[in-house]
Structure 1
C-alpha cells in the first residue's frame, strides 16, 4: 500500500469514525509553502514527509490526538517546537552531554508531555522515506521506530479500525487498549527497534555552571535526575513550568496542561489553590492523573 493510499484511507476512517480529528485537519501545503517554511532549516524533508504535509498541514486543535498521546502538528509548529528542542540539546552537547535531539530531527507528532514522533532527515539531500521514531523525552526513552513513516501510519490505521487504538470521543484522545495486540501489529512492518532505551548524560547546566567542575557534578547525577533537569528546562522554554504561571491569572486549560507534566502537589501553594478553585471537584494537593501516553513496549522475544 502506498503512502498516498494509506493517507486517503486514514482520512476516510476519520471522517466516519473520529469526526473531531477529521474536522481539525487543516488544508495541505504546496511544495512552495513547505520550501518557504523550511528556508532556514539546514536539512531536507524526505518525500514521504512532503507527502504528509501536502495531504494536510496538521491539526488546527492541538488537543486532538491522531495517535495515542500524540497530536499532528502543523509544519510551522513542528519547526517551532523543534527549535526549542534543538537549542536545549545543543546546550547539553556543549556541556559534554548527549546531543539527544539533533537538528536533523523534526517533531511532526507531539503533545504537551513531549512524547514525540521524531522524523530523522538526511543532511545531504532529499530521500524517498525517513524512519519514524516514537521517543518519550520525559522518560529519556526511545519506544519504537518504523523504517518508514508509511508503515507507522498503516499500522496505526489498522489498530484504529480494530479498536486496539480506541478513540475517546469526549476528550478527543486515542488510547491503547491492548499492548500485546499493538506490538503484534507493529511487528508486521519493518522496525528499527521496539524497546525502551535509556538516554544518559542529559544534565541541565545551571546559570553559574561554566567549568569542568560542573561536568563532574553532572556525572554524579542519575539518569533519572538528569532527565528531570532536562524536562524542567524544556517546560520553562515552552511556558509549562509551575514557576512560570501567575496564580492570579492562570487559566484552567493552562493548569490542566501543566498537571499532565507535574503533579499539582508539587506546585507552589498559590497555584494549587488556583487549580482547586477552578476545578472544585478535587483537593488542591491531589496528584494529577498521569498523561495519556504510549506504554513502553516490551523487548521482542
Structure 2
C-alpha cells in the first residue's frame, strides 16, 4: 500500500466534521498517479470539481454564486492543475498567496508514484503522456514532469504515494485527510418495505424476503392494522423466530455496510418484503432503519405499498399496483 505523507497535519482538537473541510483543494501531481480518481473522491465529499483549470481562474471560480454548498453554508471547490496547463504553474503560487490574504482555507494535495508504476499505467491505458508531444518516450515525459513539478511537490500540504494503491485505498486516504471520521455521512441509506404481490423492487441493492415469518394477516384482530401499529409490531418482532432472524440480519448488515462505505457508495437502498407490504415488512423495515440510525448512518424510511393495505371490511385503501393473488400480509 502506498504511503501517505501529511506534511501539515490538521490541528489537534479539531472536531472531525464537514464544517472543518477546506474551502479549496488543489490537486496536482504526476500524470497517471490518480488525479481522476481523486476528483471522484472529492465529488463524493460534495465538492464542486473542475479538471484542468488554469490557476489564474481559481479565485474567480470560488466566487461563482451557482456552486453547491455544504450543510455549514460554505461552497467548496476542488481543482486539478497539472502538466497539461504547465504555462500556468508560475501563477499558482501567487494565486494561493492571494487566497491566503483573503482568508480562504485551502490545501494542496500532490499525487505521486514510482516511475516504473507510472510507465506501466500509461502502457496499459494506451494514452499518451502529456509531455511526450515531441515524440519522446514515456520515461522522458515523466522525467520532464518531475522537473516541472518539484517545487510544487515540496510546498504541497499533503503528498500521497499511490504506487501500490488501488482506487478504494486512494479514496479512503483522501477522506482521511480532508474529512476524517465522516465516512458514513457520505452514504445515504433508504430502507423501504414492499409487497411481493405488487411487484418486486427494481432499485434495491439489498432485498430481504421475510415471508417465512408468521403472518399477522391471519389474526382477525390484526388484519386491518399495519406494521406501524403496536399490536402488529409486537406480533412480528417479539417472536423467537424473528429475534433469531434479526440477530443474523443485523450481523450481515454489520459486515456489508462498512464495505459499502469503503467503496465510496453514495446511495444504498435496502428493501424488506413480505406478501402484501402491510405487516411483516413494515415492522422489520422500521426495525432495520432504527438499527442503522443507531450505528450512525443517515437513514430515511419509506413504505412503498402501505397505501394498498386492506381495511377491516376487506376493501383496499387504494387501487393495487398489480392484481392481488395468493395469501396476504
Highest relative contact order (Cα 8 Å, sep 6+), 1 or 2? 2
Q: TM-score, normalised by structure 1?
A: 0.22
- Which structure is larger by alpha-carbon Rg, 1 or 2? 2
Q: TM-score, normalised by structure 2?
A: 0.21
